[in-house]
């Protein structure tokens, strides 16, 4: 694994540890999702946005230029974040860090699971992972960065 890849994995692990919410419910999902949609629309990003609480999809938006393929990718990345309790990008990077390929070494059906960037666990302090927030439509590092940026902005607004 290159030094750049190790640095990326370390950064993602810090993000996963730092981006912890004091609470999160369906009202919070609507607020976060709406803000994400507004930011994506302003930047003309061709993405889909999805937020889950448990197994329930509680927010979904598709912006111009996105497609049903983006929804399928979002679903597959969401399953990874839910199963591993960490970001879909972090899971993929962790496999590569030890010389493994998620699609073959995870022994999960790649038609249902994708360890590519874009979905982040919604972790509540003192509770644990309660859901996911994610996007699909950009290169995986950009999908991940957008979610982290918007989740960080949401948390900053709670102060």
Question: Rounded to an integer, what distance in angstroms lies between the CA atom of residue 78 and that of residue 87?
Answer: 9
Arithmetic mean of pLDDT, 89-94:
96
Q: 143: which 2 tokens?
A: 């999908």
Model's pTM, two decimal places? 0.95
Q: Which of 47, 36, 103 minimizes the C-alpha distance to 74?
A: 47
Can you give the pLDDT at residue 2?
Answer: 66
Task: Check whether 67 has a pLDDT greater than 80.
Answer: yes
Q: For residue 58, what pLDDT band results from cuts at 50, 70 and 90?
A: very high
Domains of the chain: 3-158 (3.30.450.150)
Per-residue pLDDT of 100-132, as tens digits, reads: 999 999 999 999 999 999 999 999 999 999 999
């Amino acid at each position: 694994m290159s030094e750049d890849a190790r640095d990326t994995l370390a950064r993602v692990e810090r993000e996963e540890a730092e981006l912890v919410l004091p609470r999160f419910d369906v009202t919070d999902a609507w607020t976060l999702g709406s803000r994400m949609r507004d930011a994506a629309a302003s930047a003309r990003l061709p993405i889909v946005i999805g937020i889950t609480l448990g197994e329930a999809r509680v927010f979904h938006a598709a912006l111009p230029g996105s497609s049903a393929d983006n929804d399928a990718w979002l679903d597959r990345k969401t399953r990874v974040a839910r199963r591993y309790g960490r970001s879909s990008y972090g899971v993929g990077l962790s496999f590569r860090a030890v010389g493994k390929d998620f699609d073959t070494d995870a022994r999960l059906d790649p038609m249902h699971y994708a360890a590519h960037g874009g979905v982040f666990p919604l972790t509540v302090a003192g509770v644990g992972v309660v859901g996911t927030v994610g996007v699909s439509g950009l290169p995986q590092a950009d999908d991940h960065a957008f979610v982290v940026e918007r989740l960080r902005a949401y948390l900053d607004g709670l102060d």
